[in-house]
Structure 1
């Protein structure tokens, strides 16, 4: 009888201890992923569903060329046929990171959509700050009036840089087309033509349901939404920012290659990205 009582007491002690242990663990087990600053997305540790989210993007959903005068443009730098370029030949050449189409008559149309009043443009620059070259970004309205001009500093080494439209510049109006130029003049005497890229950007407005989703979702999902809706500039900027915050993330590296590969700029995908103010 005494032995049975001791066994019962021992069982109760063990049971109480286990219950207390589980109670102390419950807050830890119930704590959501990403609730601490180190796990917050902007921190930026990608969740386990990152690959699933990126898979939804597939490739960029390129919208049709807008009605009216074809945008034309140049996605790659270098000399035009019959010209002698003043800049040293490089591979890759100066490149605008924007989608383009090539028509049957070999006419290139370089253009993209944005939802922002002041978007960012991205360019691969093959020259460095050690070179005494003049670099400029110019933006014109649809009547060819210059609305913004900025001298650009070359990076420490070849790579992708961004140029953002500042608050001091006029905001892009809805449904208006603007032409941009990124020019590198390598000849100080200016006897040879510069190397340049150019294209057209148009600000559009998304429907209210998409806008609401963009306001309430995480950056990775926003990238997917922009890509699915043909908003090139925000898709590229969002993904570039994510890569800048997570330089070793394999899923983001793969999606960057996928995005640039979808517009035939595979040779730029492995180049470093330097984000900063123009």
Structure 2
């Protein structure tokens, strides 16, 4: 494969996530302008005129997070987990907000059918990737942190499937909140990994010290956001919009992180980790064919 085509594909994958965040934000802003009030969480816009954009953008971001290959194995595992959880957030609605909004209640059977479709698709993809890696002997070499993250991911997804089988009504009532919290946790862990572990000593960047400094500041601001959210939850118990404010701020911070990292890695040199990973993957695919 031509390097320019591979590089452009890599850039499009990275650029897609900010575009989806912008689309979701605009759809919510339009609904707020139309109705004159904010709902208490981003997830509540599932039930509004932003319904299609909410599901579509979240699923698109989930796909991009799964397809994008992290620079380090642990980052890749965390992004894959966040991508899978994004589908659960999109398919399983949160509690219906008040006042009454546009979209009616979604039957439990519809929700579980969508989640089963996701489960089967993930299972097929896992079997296919395992078979191809085994055939071509190209399984990634995971370090201890990445391996622990991988097992955490597997156990979390297994618990979700078991709950879906054994207690589908409980799953429908609670899966969205659990998946949303775990999704934000995976995103924040990814930022902290880049800021304090994964990129330490990386020389592929045109200015590694500057980007390392930016990543660490973003990570610190995210931590402050979480602490402020906990304090606000108890100090402002009567204020019902704490959740949506925290969600918007965290997504904005992730947007900044992803944009900064995209700028840093926009044109990796031919001998960089990103380029070597890309070209090695192309060679393995060609051999498999």
- What's the TM-score, normalizing by structure 2? 0.24
Higher strand fraction (1 or 2): 1
Higher helix fraction (1 or 2): 2
